[in-house]
Amino acid sequence: MKLSLFLAALSSTGALAAQCISRRPTLKPMPYSPRVPFPSPPRRSKVCVVKTHGDGVTDDSDSILSAFHECNNGGHVLFPRGETYTIGTAMDWTFLKHIDIDIQGRIQFTNDTTYWQANSFRFIFQNVTSFFKLGGEDVWIYGGGTLDGNGQIWYDTYAADIYTLRPVLVGIDGLKDSVVSDLVMRYSPEYYHFVANSSNVVFNNINIAGASKSKNVAKNTDGWDTYRSQDITIMNSVINNGDDCVSFKPNSTNILVQSLSCNGSHGVSVGSLGQYKGEFDIVESVMVSNISMHNASDGARIKVWPNAPSALSGDLQGGGGSGRVRNITYEDWTIDNVDYAIEITQCYGQSNLTLCQQYPSSLTIEDIVFRRFTGTTSKKYQPLIAAFACSSADVCGNIVASDINVLSPTGTNQAYCLNQNPANLDVECTSTYKGFN
């Protein structure tokens, strides 16, 4: 049906709302298309406008849930431009199906840390919780609006107590054949996206930022973490954060990440893996292409816990798990003021390298490709630009780095190499070690 006929068929109120709805974004994957085609559902036939109290204080959760239920299975939910919505209640959105959610306004979460720690949705990995739980099938979320996690109070609370349970801004559990696009994400208390138990989900044109305004740093603000998910695409986005730009957690497969600009991050990371004893972690078939990495601690990174108990911090410790990392490609990267352009470590969380080698990881790393890297690292580890550190040659194989045109500020391209085949690495291998983790 033509758009004009579609609008004419609606009631006068519905027609007014329909005139204001956003068009679905056009998805342009470059340089690669995902393994599974993008979702392409028909136009939705009903429009539901979400009401708001608009005072920035009163909880609008009931209105949001009401609109979701009314327009589920074939509708278009509209958060109009210029409106502000306040969420103070944890909501389960895993019932959504065949629905467009058009966020043009601003959605903000309350700063009631006591409520959220008691009521947010808990995942089983690394103390992750979320304000809401998004799931379902054929869900399109877009519109150019903003999700604001009101993170400052969380940054300050966590600085006083590292066991504070901080919600992620977008917690996803069991979402499939869906698209999240054209949104602004600000001030998440922890990760911006945690994508669990999901398949064929596309993230496109997301703008992430939210530094602390106090002396207390915004920590663990990963852009995306994938977990037990497959066929996830992340593309065409800008990320300004203080932790991993993207991180592939256990059992992430067939992932495509491309055309990102990352600033201030810890890189695009496989892991951490092998944290939990008795667990078998898998990350495989991952392509990360066309990335610009600025002012970061790492660029392309693979991080695995050793086969011994280790503690990175009081609330982050582990080691002894097994699994595999296989068929990972990082290509066409621009490096700008990054401590390590490339880092592989099987000693994550363990600063004692001797102890790490005494208890080598039981998680294998193989068929890893780094190619076409250019730029300049920071001064932190110069003359080193990279670190390729495996706890044992038995658990690392076929790691190749080619066309690595990255230099330190002093003009060197040395890399720390442990249990590697130097002939496969387009760097000057050295046994000189400079601390990492």
- Tens digits of per-residue pLDDT, 20-40? 999 999 999 999 999 999 999
Q: Give the H or E element holding residue 71.
A: helix 61-71
CA–CA gap between residue 413 and residue 401 (Å, rounded) = 12
Q: What is the CATH number of the domain that holds 359?
A: 2.160.20.10
Judged by DSSP in three states, 232 sits in strand
Reply yes or no on whether the pLDDT at 2 is more than 50: no
pLDDT-derived band at 13, boundaries 50, 70, 90: very low
Question: Which one of the listed residues 76, 98, 193, 266 is annotated catalytic?
Answer: 266
Q: Which residues make beta-bridge pairs with 183?
A: 206
pLDDT-derived band at 128, boundaries 50, 70, 90: very high
| Alpha-carbon distances of 379 from 295, 409, 411, rounded to whole Å | 11, 6, 11
DSSP code for 113: H
The per-residue b/e assignment along 176-201, b for 16 or more CB within 10 angstroms, e otherwise, is bbbbbbbbbbbbbbbbbbbbbbbbbb
Q: DSSP characters for 370-384? A: EEEEEEEE-STTTTE
Cβ–Cβ < 8 Å for 241, 210: yes
* 324-370 per-position pLDDT tens digit: 999 999 999 999 999 999 999 887 876 666 777 777 888 999 999 99
pLDDT at 409: 98
Whether residue 136 is contained in a domain is answered as yes
Whether residue 283 is contained in a domain is answered as yes
Cis preceding linkage at 409, omega within 30: no
Residue closest to 32 by CA, chosen among 290, 261, 207, 219 = 290
Q: Give the H or E element holding residue 212.
A: none
Rg, Å, the chain Cα set = 22
Cβ–Cβ < 8 Å for 220, 266: no
Reply yes or no on whether the pLDDT at 78 is more than 50: yes
Q: Which two tokens stand for residue 338?
A: 């990054």
Q: Is the dihedral of CA 198, 204, 207, 211 positive or negative?
A: positive
Whether residue 437 is contained in a domain is answered as no
Reply yes or no on whether the pLDDT at 315 is more than 70: no
Q: Give the alpha-carbon dihedral of 168, 173, 179, 181, to 10 degrees.
A: 0
Q: Which two tokens stand for residue 179?
A: 């698209």
Name the more confident of 432 and 174: 174
Read off the pTM: 0.94
Q: Is the dihedral of CA 155, 157, 162, 167 positive or negative?
A: negative
Judged by DSSP in three states, 319 sits in coil
Amino acid at 231: D
* 162-177 per-position pLDDT tens digit: 999 999 999 999 999 9
DSSP code for 425: B
* 83-125 per-position pLDDT tens digit: 999 999 999 999 999 999 999 999 999 999 999 999 999 998 8
266 an active-site residue?
yes
The burial class, CB within 10 Å (0-12 / 13-18 / 19+), for 429 is middle
Reply yes or no on whether the pLDDT at 10 is more than 50: no
pLDDT at 316: 58
| Alpha-carbon distances of 83 from 10, 51, 67, 80, 106, rounded to whole Å | 23, 9, 15, 6, 6
Reply yes or no on whether the pLDDT at 14 is more than 80: no
Task: Return the minimum-mean-pLDDT range out of 3-7, 72-76, 176-180, 358-362.
Answer: 3-7
Please give the share of the chain, as a percent, with pLDDT higher than 90.
81
User: How high does pLDDT run on average in the chain?
Assistant: 92
pLDDT at 314: 57
Residue closest to 90 by CA, chosen among 178, 165, 195, 180 = 165
Whether residue 319 is contained in a domain is answered as yes
Whether residue 131 is contained in a domain is answered as yes
User: How large is the average pLDDT for residues 386-413?
Assistant: 94
Reply yes or no on whether the pLDDT at 402 is more than 90: yes
pLDDT-derived band at 15, boundaries 50, 70, 90: low
pLDDT at 434: 72
Please give the share of the chain, as a percent, with pLDDT higher than 70.
92
Q: Which two tokens stand for residue 262?
A: 């990352």
> Per 3-state DSSP, what percentage of the chain is helix, strand, and coil (rounded to 5)?
10, 50, 40
pLDDT-derived band at 432, boundaries 50, 70, 90: confident
pLDDT-derived band at 307, boundaries 50, 70, 90: confident
Whether residue 435 is contained in a domain is answered as no
Whether residue 338 is contained in a domain is answered as yes
Whether residue 436 is contained in a domain is answered as no
Range of the domain at 179: 3-430
pLDDT at 8: 38
The count of structural domains within the chain is 1
